[in-house]
Each structure stands twice: as structure tokens, then as C-alpha cells.
Structure 1
Amino acid sequence: MFSRRHLTLLTDFGERDGYVGILKGAIAKIEPSLAVTDISHEIPPQDILAARFCLANAYPFFPKETVHIAVVDPGVGTSRRGVAIQLEDGFLIGPDNGIFDGVLRQHQEKILAAVELTEVKYWRTPEPSQTFHARDIFATVGAHVATGVRVDRLGVAIDPKSLTRLSLPDPQWHGQQVSGVIQYCDRFGNLITNIPSDDLAGKSWHVAAASRQIPQGDSYMSAKENDVVAIASRHGWLELGAYQRSAQELLGLTVGDSLTVVLS
């Protein structure tokens, strides 16, 4: 007998207006026994890059075949596609606007199927709201997938290579240096880069950023007062942080800004 799949939700809806509860109600109407985990609903409004990072960061920690519904959707009501993507170890459902770019970069070889969501029988209504596709399409499609509906029944197959990717560059090695960018800033002001910390394991190095030389450290407490330290973060990426301060404020850097790691 088919076992219900776990569901997750990630949005920029916040908790004030009841939108998250509405999504869960739409899911429960399909199958009230489904378990739903909130990854986050505090993504900054319309910030697809932040959603991309948070989803990719959370994805490996969920059981195999988890259904991830992610909706940060400034293009809602336009011609942008809604998609469902099946990977070897999970499902992604939401707008095709780059929100899945982080997961897909890490699991490109694991894509089994991708479809544009055109089969209205799996929507809440055949005439969805122009401003609430999360409720009328994505939540109900996700619930159907969690109850065993195959991805190929949800719409028209699309080439996985056509899925929208974001312009965030990959790290580039040049001799004893690797250049990267800030990909996310968390609520503490820590700056998470796109350089995998494993690439620097066992090496001595420092970071050049914002006209400063930032030393390697073991923890936030490695940073001196009003200074910044570079550490291998819990996310698996090189991170710039400060002790009880905001590295973002101290450095004046933001998402997309560049930095260089220099090996000693």
C-alpha cells in the first residue's frame, strides 16, 4: 500500500495574514492526514534568491520522496510556468522562476521528470485566482503528489534544461585563489558565500573582501571586537560572521557581491 509522502512549505507570505493557514487548508481538503513541515514563511517579499538558498539548504534533511512546495512568485498571474519536478530523492512544485535553481545545481543528474502544470483536474479550481496560485494550483498539486499521483499525469513534459536558472555564478579557481559571491544573508547578518567549505578543508587561507583581509576562524567567537571572521558554516558553505555583530553591517556587503579566498 502506498505510504503518504511528507510535504514542506516555503513562502514569503509571513504569518500575519493567514495565507499559510489557507495553504494548509487546501492541502487538508485533498488529504487531511498529510504531514506538513514549514521550512520558512519569512523569506523577504519577492526575494527569489533567498528562497533558492533556504530551500536548497533544507532539502537534504528531509526523508526520501518528500514533496517540497516553494512559492515566492512575483510573476504570479503572468505567462511564467508552474512546474513539478521529480528527482530521485524528492519532488519540487512551484513557479518556474529560478526558485529551484539551488536544488537543481546540486542534484542535476537526479532529475527523473519535469512537467508544466496544465492538468486542471489536480488544481483547486479550473479558474485559479490571478494572485494566489499557491492556493489554487501548487498546494493542491503538491497534496495530490503526496497521495501518490504520478508527475507525468500533472501536465505536459518539459525539457529539464529549460527550467529557469538564476544568474548567480559558480566559484572559479585561479591557481591558489578561488573567487565567489555572497549568496545569502541570514537574520544575524552572517554572509553565506557560494564557496563550499569542503573545498577548503585542511588548507590555510584568508578571505579578501570589501578591501579587507578576513582571517580564517573556528567559530564566531574567533572574531575580535568589531571584526569579521571566515568560517566553515553549518550550511556547508564558507561564511563571513562576527561575534554578536552583523558581518553585513561591518563589511557593507550584500547578496551578489564578490570575494576571493587566498590560500596561504
Structure 2
Amino acid sequence: MSLITLTTDFGTKDHFVGAVKGAIYSELSEAKIVDITHEIAPFNITETAYILKNSYKSFPKGTIHIVGVDSELSADNKHIALELDGHYFVCPDNGLISMIASEIKPTKIVEINIHDRIESSFPVLDVFVQVACFIARGGNLTVIGKEIKAFKKLIEIQPKVNQAQNQIIGGVVYIDNYGNVITNISKKMFNDIGKGRAFKATARRYSFSKIFTKYNEVADNSTHENHQYDGHKLAIFNAAGFLEIAIYRSNLDTVGGASSLLGLGYRDAISIDFYNETTPDFTPIS
């Protein structure tokens, strides 16, 4: 059985998702299709990269991931298929693969060249489905395209390090269903640069000198009821290992989320400044 995932910005109101699934089953009736999400913000490559990075590893090796975000073919937006970490990705070469490939290099990348046989304004349906099903049947990537060595890199996905000033400058790459604000600063980078020193993380006019490992650590369970801490802001390394600014027990219908309450949005800057451990007013990293 072939496992194929779909990640798109199509939404679910229109016919697009159903048409893509129908085309897959027409090509490969035994396929198993899993929807990762169809609610990517339109054309948001950074959001796509974050979701892919944190979902693909949960699938078994050999899974084929079709990614339909900003997928219209152009001279500057080629279509590629690649093997990476035992998985296959069929997607536009618009930088969305950057976040995954920053840590694990692709085994093989090809530029898809079947477009001369297919005229399409809906490449996910007409091209990506054919490529994915070809791979699922055991086809070699080099049959569908010319092997290339490089892919487009999205610079904004990677945070910057200012060694001289002991500073990491990152940005907001995703806002989740709870309104939590996720940055591109990883726990690994934080530890590598910080080396256990005191720090201050700054997001707009808000600052944090402690980063939690669980949301409920913000509540002092020994003396208070947890609900007394509802609405408190906190910084945490989330399950994906990225710095997140959150509101404890956030509810977008009542309390609100970090994005709305703190005025933080996509691409907003987040900085971390590190200090000597003896600097007062800062809590050393545990």
C-alpha cells in the first residue's frame, strides 16, 4: 500500500482537494491518502515549511508528500521531486523545503520535466499526482526529471546569530490554533549560543527571562489553583523544539491568544540577548 500525504492552501470549500484525491485513486487505486492540512494561509511558504518539518517524520519511510502551496509553474518557480530522510517530496521549488533540508540534506533532487506533455493551470492535480503515483509504483526519480544539486533557500526561515553581541535574531514563522506564536529559534541554537548564560528574550515591548518546558510550569501548583494563572504570558520550547510565545490556557473566544493579546504576527522579530551569568535581574538557563 502506498501512503501519500497532502499539504495545501486549498481550503475545503472548493473542489480542489476532492479532485486531487480522485486523481490519485484513478492512478493508484490502492493508495492511502492522509491530509496533513489544507488550511495553510494562501501562498505562505514559511508556514508550509514549519508544518512539513513537524509532521513528515511521524509517517513511515517511503511516504510520498505532495505539497501544493504557491505551486504555479514559472521560470522562477520550478517543480521538483526529492528524496530526503527516507521520504519523498513533490513540490514547487519556492523555498518551502528549506526548513527540513537545513538539518538533513536531500539524497536526490530532480527538476520535473513532464510539463512538455501536460498543459495545466492546476499542476498539483495534473503533474504532482502523476509524479507521486509514479514514485509509489517504484519509479526512479531520474525518469521524471533531470537531477539537480541545489534547491531554492528561503533566507527568512533561518534565524541570524550576532556572535559579537551575543544575540539571536529570529522571527515569527507560524501562529497555531491557540494563537500561540512560534518562532524559528530552535532549542538547539539557543543552547549552542547561550551556553547556560542568563538571557532576555524580547518580542515587541514584552520580555522573558525564563523559558519553560511545559505550559503548566507557569502555575505554582503547590499554593494556587491553576485557573488563577489563565491568561499569563510565557515563553516555552514547544514539542517541535522551537521557541514559542504563549498565553497559559489560551482560548481565542475568551482569554485570547498570544498573537492577539501581545500584538505579535507573522514575520515579527524576536530577539534573544545573552549576558554573563553574574548579571543581576536575569535568571540563568537551567
Shared fold, TM over 0.5: yes
- For residues 16-55 of structure 1, the aligned pairs below 5 Å read 16-55=13-52
Hey, what's the Cα distance between the residues in 2 that align with 1:226 and 1:184? 20
- Establish whether residue 259 from structure 1 lines up as the match of residue 270 from structure 2: yes
Q: TM-score, normalised by structure 1?
A: 0.86
CA distance in 2, matches of 1:257, 1:5: 40
- TM-score norm. by structure 2 comes to 0.80
1:119 aligns with 2:114: yes
> Following TM superposition, by how much is the alpha carbon of 1:235 offset from its aligned partner in structure 2, in angstroms?
1.5
Deviation at 1:236, TM superposition (A): 1.3
Deviation at 1:177, TM superposition (A): 4.0
Partner of 2:24: helix, strand, or coil?
A: helix
- Secondary structure, aligned partner of 1:69: strand
- Name whichever of 221-230 and 188-197 sits farther off: 221-230
Superposition CA RMSD, Å = 2.3
Whose radius of gyration is greater, 1 or 2?
2
What SS does structure 2 have at the residue aligned with 1:43? coil
Query: Residues 104 and 191 (structure 1 numbering): CA distance in 2 closer, same or farther, change over 3 Å?
Result: same
Alpha-carbon contact 2:73-2:79 (below 8 Å) kept: no
Could you tell me which amino acid in structure 2 is paired with residue 154 of structure 1? I
Kindly provide the CA deviation profile for residues 69-114 of structure 1, in whole angstroms up to 9, marking residues without a partner as x.
Answer: 10102x6143321111112411110111112121111212xx2211
The answer to which of 215-224 and 16-25 deviates more is: 215-224
Q: Quote the Cα distance in structure 1 between the aligned partners of 2:170 and 2:211.
A: 16
C-alpha distance in structure 2 between counterparts of 1:199 and 1:87, whole Å: 22
Name the SS for the 1:141 alignment partner.
helix
Residue among 152, 172, 177 paired with 1:164 = 152
**Secondary structure at the residue paired with 1:107?**
coil
The aligned amino acid for 1:257 is D
Q: Could you tell which deviates more after superposition, 187-196 or 208-217?
A: 208-217
Q: 1:208 aligns with which of 202, 206, 210?
A: 202
Unaligned runs of 5+ in 1: none
Q: Is the 8 A contact 1:205 1:216 kept in 2?
A: no
CA gap 1:120/1:181 in 2 versus in 1, 3 angstroms: closer
The residue correspondences of 1:102-117 to structure 2 (distance < 5 A) are 102-108=99-105, 111-117=106-112
Q: Which amino acid aligns with 1:153?
A: V
| Aligned twin of 1:98 | 95
Give me the whole-angstrom Cα distance separating, in 2, the residues matched to 1:7 and 1:208.
40
Bigger shift: residues 213-222 or 78-87:
213-222
> Which runs of structure 2 are paired with 1:1-264 in the superposition (5 Å)?
4-73=1-70, 76-79=72-75, 80-108=77-105, 111-119=106-114, 126-130=117-121, 132-159=122-149, 161=150, 163-168=151-156, 169-172=158-161, 174=163, 177-200=167-190, 203=196, 205-214=199-208, 215-221=210-216, 222=218, 224=229, 226-243=231-248, 244=250, 245-263=256-274, 264=284
Cα deviation for residue 226 of structure 1 reads: 4.5
Alignment length, in residue pairs?
A: 251
CA displacement, residues 121-141 of structure 1 (integer Å, 9 cap, x when unaligned): 9xxxx33322x1010000221
Shift of 1:29: 1.3
Of residues 223-232 and 240-249 in structure 1, the stretch that sits farther from structure 2 once superposed is 223-232
Aligned equivalents of 1:119 and 1:77: distance in 2?
A: 12
Taking the aligned partners of 1:95 and 1:216, their CA distance within structure 2 comes to 36
Post-superposition shift, 1:31?
Answer: 1.0
